[in-house]
Each structure stands twice: as structure tokens, then as C-alpha cells.
């Protein structure tokens, strides 16, 4: 493949390494220092774009990929308020997009396990549940997209929870939680790639499942694999479409 990297920070550089190792060529690298090179003409030199930019840039980046008719893999989070509009634009233009809050294989196994556990816990109402996410201090959005996906998986399967609320360490506390609300606690600590924990607590014990990323490498490799999977496809996909988990 010929790849355009939209966002050439730490993640973009690791993605470039994996892409090159897997026989692909990076033909365009866009960072804050060369935004003038981010043109439709330059995008058309690529077979696929991979976006790990910033929440306030992702939607415009996607729109430009649609204009260039270049499939795009979007690992940036924090833009999901525009998800339905982007999905509609993708269909209207016969374009191709795959997005995900986390491209790590391990995290996607965790997503599935989380939903299986949440469904099981309907039988045990003595347990309450919350989510904790820890990331590096450079992460711009809170909660993380991964934490939101975890929370939405719980809400989908656990009858007692219908919405999530976020508490960012150091920010104002949310109002007292209602029984139907799921708390996501967000912490920002230097040099932490990403840790996500789901805890079910009762008076007598806790049940905990946890995913700890050791580096950004798993996310980067997953993004390249997703770009490979997307070749010769049209339409709007999520990272879950790559996997075929069975309950």
C-alpha cells in the first residue's frame, strides 16, 4: 500500500515503522509543521490514509480524504459527536472509512470480555460497577475513546446502567451519581500509554478486569492491519468489524 499519515507525532512515527516493515510505503506525512502539504492532490498519491491527529482536526481530515476518494482509517478520538454526520457523508459519496477508539488486538479482546461480563452481572445486583482510565498527560480528550467504548459495552449489556458520567482528576466533581449512571474516572499520569480497568464492587469483594498497554506499538500495528483489511472495501466500518468474536 501507499499510505498517507495524518498526524506525524509519536504514534505516526511508530505506524510508519510497522508499515515499512510490512512492505508498505509512506508517501505523505502531515504534521503541524507542514499543513500546507495537506492537499487533495497529495492525498491522491496514497491508497489509504491513517489518521492519528487531534480531536479538532479529525473531521476536516476525514472530509478531505472523502474529497480525494481515499479510504481512511481513523484512530483519533474525541470527534464522535460528528459520527452520524460522517457516516452519512461516507455513504453519500461512496467513500470508505474505518474508525476505532483503540486498534490494539488485546483491547478488542477486552471489549468483548467486558460485554460478556456485564451481561453475566445482571444476575448479581449486589455489585456496582465503574470504569477507570489512565493515560499520559499529553492526551487531549477525557474520557478516552477506549473508556467510552468500555462504558457503552456495559450499558448495552447491564440492565441497571443507562448512561455514563466522567470525573477527570483535578476537575470539578460531578453531582452525586444516580443509580443508573456509570462512572468513568480519568487520570493523567506522565508516560502511561493507557490503562483501563472495570471494577464490580460489593460489600464482600471486588471483581476486576484490566488492560495495560506497555507501549503505543500495539495501537500502531493494529492501525496498519486495519488499513490492510480495508483494501478493496467500500463503506463505513468500525474496528469491531475486523474481529469475529462469538459469545
Catalytic residues: 135, 139
d(CA 187, CA 196): 10
What is the C-alpha end-to-end distance of the chain, expressed in Å? Answer: 34
The DSSP secondary structure of 56-121, one letter per residue, reads HHHHHHHHHHHHHT--EEE---S-GGGHHHHHHHHHHTT-EEEE-S---HHHHHHHHHHHHHHHHG
- CA-atom Rg of the chain in angstroms: 19
Which residues on adjacent β-strands are paired with residue 134?
Answer: 187, 195
Are 135 and 190 contacting, i.e. CB atoms less than 8 angstroms apart? no
Sheet holding 48-51, edge to edge: 25-30, 2-6, 48-51, 72-74, 96-99, 235-238
Which residues on adjacent β-strands are paired with residue 111?
Answer: none
118's grid cell: 456485564
Amino acid at each position: 500500500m501507499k499510505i498517507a499519515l495524518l498526524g506525524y507525532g509519536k504514534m505516526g512515527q511508530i505506524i510508519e515503522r510497522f508499515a515499512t516493515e510490512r512492505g508498505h510505503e509512506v508517501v505523505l506525512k502531515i504534521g503541524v509543521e507542514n499543513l500546507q502539504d495537506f492537499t487533495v492532490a497529495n492525498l491522491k498519491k496514497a491508497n489509504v490514509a491513517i489518521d492519528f491527529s487531534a480531536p479538532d482536526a479529525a473531521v476536516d481530515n476525514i472530509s478531505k480524504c472523502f474529497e480525494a476518494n481515499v479510504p481512511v482509517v481513523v484512530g483519533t478520538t474525541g470527534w464522535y459527536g460528528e459520527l452520524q454526520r460522517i457516516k452519512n457523508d461516507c455513504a453519500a459519496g461512496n467513500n470508505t472509512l474505518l474508525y476505532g477508539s483503540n486498534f490494539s488486538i488485546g483491547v478488542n479482546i477486552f471489549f468483548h470480555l467486558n460485554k460478556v461480563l456485564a451481561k453475566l452481572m445482571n444476575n448479581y445486583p449486589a455489585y456496582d460497577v465503574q470504569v477507570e482510565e489512565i493515560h499520559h498527560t499529553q492526551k487531549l480528550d477525557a474520557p478516552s475513546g477506549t473508556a467510552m467504548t468500555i462504558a457503552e459495552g456495559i450499558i448495552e449489556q447491564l440492565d441497571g446502567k443507562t448512561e455514563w458520567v466522567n470525573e477527570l482528576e483535578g476537575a470539578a466533581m460531578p453531582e452525586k451519581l444516580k443509580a443508573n449512571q456509570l462512572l468513568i474516572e480519568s487520570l493523567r499520569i506522565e508516560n502511561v500509554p493507557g490503562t483501563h480497568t472495570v471494577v464490580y464492587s460489593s460489600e464482600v469483594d471486588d471483581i476486576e478486569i484490566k488492560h495495560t498497554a506497555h507501549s503505543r506499538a500495539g495501537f500502531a500495528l493494529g492501525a496498519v492491519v486495519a488499513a490492510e483489511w480495508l483494501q478493496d472495501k467500500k463503506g463505513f466500518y468500525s474496528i469491531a468489524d475486523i474481529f469475529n468474536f462469538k459469545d
